Structure 1
């Protein structure tokens, strides 16, 4: 049997006009700023008008550590949202926008899959409403203004050796990780070493996703530290005079995007920080808006729960005053077998023992999530090769960990395949049993926050950081940044910093290579192991298969 590809399913969708989708949430057409017929931005005036509404229940979807076998976290987020609507619960979905880098690289798009997708899939995975382009432009405007300030006399006495603001682009390009700018003579400025990060790692992206208004956005942009003087005095974006123009570039991007699922249910798609190198959640303004308009909001956090969910809890919820009512942890039989030592070509054959051997990865995530005081349900994302015995093994293991696992077939059946999960999740959320609390208090020392995550979430024995890094953290504490949470940048493939170490490793070390202060976003970025803030393309990037067919339609997106 041949299954339709994601893009074939998306192209055949019977979409409703975006005004109809908005009406389901009580958004009048006058408050929708349409981008074509099937997507629109929601006006800030409308968002301001609903702040007095009662908030709905917040459901977080996260996953085990990703494997080449695939887990389907976004697919499950969409499927659960559709399932809740199917059982009569007024529900909205909140997910992130897709980055062009992984879309043309290895990961693919970020609109779900099969019969659990958000549409228009092609536009969402490409330029969408231009938010990422606006973020890239605002970021690089600040870069240009720093170099321009130095060129025209350097009134602020910036030490060119201590410029910490790099440039960004929304593409995987390893050649730009380390660069030299301003070559070519006096008219081009003063040569210096710098580099590029991918746009989703930009502090501007993090700021947009954590800001609550345009005023808050401009203040945060102004708080960005871009450089230091020879006396080690920080230079802020507002000192350069860039915060106003950056806000102008981001004015439209700040407004959440409204689209729909294949079953014509509302979905907010806004913001897109990576979870392995940034904080991995959609925007606060989109989540808060959805909570004021729907009785249930299903959102996701990037990659595995050790990254996305940890940052959702410790950064986003802390900053925005949010508290999840239930967490859904996505796992697959195939991924459990891979964690149990089975090679990818052999995943189709039944191997109950390998499933059991791989389940400790699932168990570690369950216990980690419970540490935040939130009930956890495991969603087994069904693949056609799964056997009853393998599914039963995961269910039994989840029960042994004080949780429960529910088989979901949303990829194949859409909302009909998530009725059981939706019913259980709604019951848990309505029961009000969650007692959410972040993992560490604001007043804890920065290095102790890092150690808390490393030992309690990653199960590491130690954190390796040289004197320079420890001194830097202490200096930031002395400067008034000690209350910031920490944003761990590490591989998504393992609890450790070694991407090849699967399962639930213990007793490992977490080496810190670098720390960065994101004063505008309000957190400290801790770069661990070999993680790169500018990814590279794989040997055979997805771009090789993407193109137009004879009818002028896009092929190869997934």
Structure 2
């Protein structure tokens, strides 16, 4: 009788890995001991002020993807595998990733540490409360909420209109029951009643601020610029008006330091910040990326979801504010996502269907087109899954060859860095090419024109419709002088349109902007489209229901 072995889970693979003490990882990255603040054996914070400064900084490789399935296409897995492959090629490499939110971990998508033999470690600790950063953001956000209600309770000298408070409380979980709440009930001793609500922590403006600030002084200044609502005369009220920025900065002091960990193969990894890309800007912190650029010759980083979301925001928001540009771009494509875009129901994606792969390729084509519009030539990484067949993979490779686009298979889930060597070599070739990166719009353009540019050039849409509410908000934004800020589109990740079900590469569609939310501290304008929620809900069968802890403290069911 044949003994068929069950493949190891990501968690089992992570537990079997031989991790190096974090001091050794830091030494290999030329991080001096005085800059290292260990959090146990395998994690540390980096005190950036104690790092030696270099005049020549490393090149940035951005990993993005096509429009994903609900389970994701392994972008983090490819990012980690590529970094390990570059290390195998003797390139001094660091990887920079976002921190996982408990929302997806406990919900549907799972963690964000990669998978298989292409992971960052310690996997369990990174996916659960990693160094307390997101909890610190939750505390800072809710401190500001408490200060707002306390100010109103004690006389409201700023004349804050309770009906026009835009600042919400946050929680790092998916909890739809908290989207709309009422606070201050129970009589005068319990505050002033008003409507309120919760967002998920990774959608908090404070998360975006932490990820876009370049120093502690910049962090504090941005916190002070947060607009929490408006007066009875419709004048903006800021956190600075409440004298709150000092306390918020104190709560974020340690969280602002980048976190150092390692990949399974020992490549140094910085994991810091975690804004969602369908709600916020979807990139790890500028502090982490720029720290990695100081320490390594090549920095591999990612932006959330497809190139229409995370990559676009990376180009227009993060790269601009971080004062760097991407030197190469990798687009992750999978057979299963292309089959979905080719019309295959999600329940049938494991069945061989090369024809459906072919039918889904226009989605990949649009993401390639988008990256080229920014003046960059992408490399396509076909992230191999065990259910993929040679015929299906060849459909992608042959199409890319026909369209003069370099494409390689990434086998990093199964083989780690060894399975990403061909991808690493292709990326190195792109890094040696001239860089023609340029944003698609300038900050001085009108807000409506900037949104039109994104919709037409990035999504392939035909027009933008602003609701009456959005038009009123647009007028207020211009009146307050906020119209020079970049745009952060809040849009479904599953489609180029604002309708999740319109997959593939739709044509002749209009995007509706229903609301525009100024995030003055972060430095962008959030345009809400479709039915995007800033507090997600749990699926019918949350991942949390499969998790458990035994008497020895061992976790099960975490991916």
TM-score by length of 1: 0.98
Partner of 2:475: 474
CA separation in 1, counterparts of 2:504 and 2:30?
45
Q: Structure 1 residues 512-521 or 242-251, which shifts more?
A: 512-521
Partner of 1:236: 238
1:357-372 alignment runs, 5 A limit = 357-372=359-374
1:3-82 alignment runs, 5 A limit = 3-47=7-51, 49-50=52-53, 52-68=54-70, 70-82=72-84
**Equivalent residue of 1:78, what SS?**
helix
**Equivalent residue of 2:314, what SS?**
helix
**Equivalent residue of 1:227, what SS?**
strand
| Structure 2 residue 465 is matched with structure 1 residue 464 | yes
CA separation in 1, counterparts of 2:419 and 2:66?
21
**Equivalent residue of 2:219, what SS?**
helix
CA separation in 2, counterparts of 1:466 and 1:533?
19
CA separation in 1, counterparts of 2:425 and 2:532?
39
- Cα distance, 1:551 vs structure 2: 3.3
Q: 1:316 aligns with which of 297, 315, 318?
A: 318
**Equivalent residue of 1:511, what SS?**
strand
- Cα distance, 1:29 vs structure 2: 2.0
- Cα distance, 1:34 vs structure 2: 0.7
Contact kept, 8 Å, 1:67 with 1:338, in 2: the verdict is: yes
Contact kept, 8 Å, 2:69 with 2:494, in 1: the verdict is: yes
Contact kept, 8 Å, 1:78 with 1:112, in 2: the verdict is: yes
Partner of 2:452: 451
> Does the C-alpha gap of structure 1 residues 349 and 189 become closer, same or farther in structure 2, counting only changes over 3 Å?
closer
- Cα distance, 1:292 vs structure 2: 0.8
CA separation in 1, counterparts of 2:104 and 2:387?
27
Partner of 1:179: 181
Partner of 2:217: 215
CA separation in 2, counterparts of 1:198 and 1:384?
34
Contact kept, 8 Å, 1:69 with 1:338, in 2: the verdict is: no
Deviations 1:240-264 (A, max 9, x none): 0110000000000000000000001
- Cα distance, 1:68 vs structure 2: 4.0
Partner of 1:83: 85
- Cα distance, 1:475 vs structure 2: 2.3
Contact kept, 8 Å, 1:78 with 1:117, in 2: the verdict is: yes
Q: 1:376 aligns with which of 334, 359, 378?
A: 378
The CA RMSD over aligned residues, in Å, is 1.2
Q: Structure 1 residues 150-159 or 535-544, which shifts more?
A: 150-159
CA separation in 2, counterparts of 1:347 and 1:184?
53
Aligned length: 555
CA separation in 2, counterparts of 1:376 and 1:336?
18
Q: 2:273 aligns with which of 271, 282, 304?
A: 271
Q: Structure 1 residues 243-252 or 451-460, which shifts more?
A: 451-460
**Equivalent residue of 1:238, what SS?**
coil
Contact kept, 8 Å, 1:22 with 1:266, in 2: the verdict is: yes
Structure 2: unaligned runs, 5 residues or longer: none
Partner of 1:524: 525
Partner of 2:340: 338
CA separation in 1, counterparts of 2:379 and 2:193?
54
Q: 1:300 aligns with which of 266, 287, 302?
A: 302
Q: Structure 1 residues 276-285 or 490-499, which shifts more?
A: 490-499
| Structure 2 residue 148 is matched with structure 1 residue 146 | yes
Q: Structure 1 residues 539-548 or 388-397, which shifts more?
A: 388-397
- Cα distance, 1:544 vs structure 2: 0.3
Structure 1: unaligned runs, 5 residues or longer: none
- Cα distance, 1:458 vs structure 2: 1.4
**Equivalent residue of 1:131, what SS?**
helix
| Structure 2 residue 96 is matched with structure 1 residue 94 | yes
CA separation in 2, counterparts of 1:168 and 1:400?
48
Contact kept, 8 Å, 2:469 with 2:514, in 1: the verdict is: no
Partner of 2:507: 506
CA separation in 2, counterparts of 1:400 and 1:57?
29
Deviations 1:264-316 (A, max 9, x none): 11000000000000000000000001001100000000011111101101111
**Equivalent residue of 1:418, what SS?**
helix
Contact kept, 8 Å, 1:165 with 1:227, in 2: the verdict is: yes
- Cα distance, 1:347 vs structure 2: 2.9
**Equivalent residue of 2:535, what SS?**
coil
CA separation in 2, counterparts of 1:389 and 1:512?
41
Q: Structure 1 residues 530-539 or 439-448, which shifts more?
A: 439-448
Partner of 2:164: 162
CA separation in 1, counterparts of 2:346 and 2:149?
49
- Cα distance, 1:216 vs structure 2: 0.3
- Cα distance, 1:353 vs structure 2: 1.2
- Cα distance, 1:462 vs structure 2: 1.9
- Cα distance, 1:69 vs structure 2: 6.1
CA separation in 1, counterparts of 2:71 and 2:154?
54
Partner of 1:422: 424
Contact kept, 8 Å, 1:328 with 1:376, in 2: the verdict is: yes
Contact kept, 8 Å, 2:44 with 2:261, in 1: the verdict is: yes
Deviations 1:438-492 (A, max 9, x none): 1111111011111111121112222121233123213212322111001000111
Contact kept, 8 Å, 1:69 with 1:335, in 2: the verdict is: no
Contact kept, 8 Å, 1:491 with 1:499, in 2: the verdict is: yes
CA separation in 2, counterparts of 1:442 and 1:399?
37
